[in-house]
Amino acid sequence: MKNLLVYGTLTGNTESVAQQIQQIIHDAGKELEIKNINLSSVADLAQVENLLIVASSTWDDGLLCSDMADFLEENTAELPDLTAKKLAFFGCGDSNYPKFCHAVDTLENVFTSKGGQKVIDSLKVDGYIEDENNQDKIKNFAQELISWL
């Protein structure tokens, strides 16, 4: 597969953002496959030819959501070399917590350490994804991604 977005979610917000991003990209005539991290494997990540987008909600004080945390705990050592890959990241969180969207920072550290190049600023969605400001941020992030596909 050329481009893949993998996400971890507990309440469905990160999944909803992933679907919105996919729709905007498809409307622009580009392809992006999305997969829940629970249904993904290291082999899926290795098959990405161009752009890998990784997303997770943040829980408690800066923690990855449990499904993404479990995936990385079990697979970080086996993650493929991402040297020729472009990377992008996003996540949902609550700025009332001191480590707002820290899961995104964790993802950046893990995946860039495998050689991938982060190509755009990460998206950090604060609070309700339906909020007009958040919808604008999601659309802008997706539009920026299109130039890398």
Question: Above pLDDT 90, what percent of the chain?
Answer: 97
By the 8 A CB rule, do 67 and 38 touch?
Answer: yes
Per-residue pLDDT, averaged over 23-39, amounts to 97
Domains of the chain: 3-146 (3.40.50.360)
By the 8 A CB rule, do 52 and 1 touch?
Answer: no
- Kindly indicate the confidence band of residue 148, based on its pLDDT and cuts at 50, 70 and 90: very high
State both tokens at 86: 């472009």
Question: DSSP class of residue 12?
Answer: S
Rounded CA separation 127/130 (Å): 9
Residue 140 confidence (pLDDT): 98
pTM over 0.85, yes/no: yes
What pLDDT digit, counting tens, does each position of 104-123 carry?
A: 999 999 999 999 999 999 99
Question: DSSP class of residue 89?
Answer: E
Element spanning 66, H or E = helix 66-75
Can you tell me which residue has the tokens 């990784």? 54
The CB-side HSE value for 83 (13 A sphere, CA atoms) comes to: 1
To 10 degrees, the CA torsion angle through 24, 95, 130, 69?
60
Does the pLDDT of residue 1 top 80, yes or no?
no
Rounded CA separation 82/143 (Å): 23
Rounded CA separation 22/19 (Å): 5
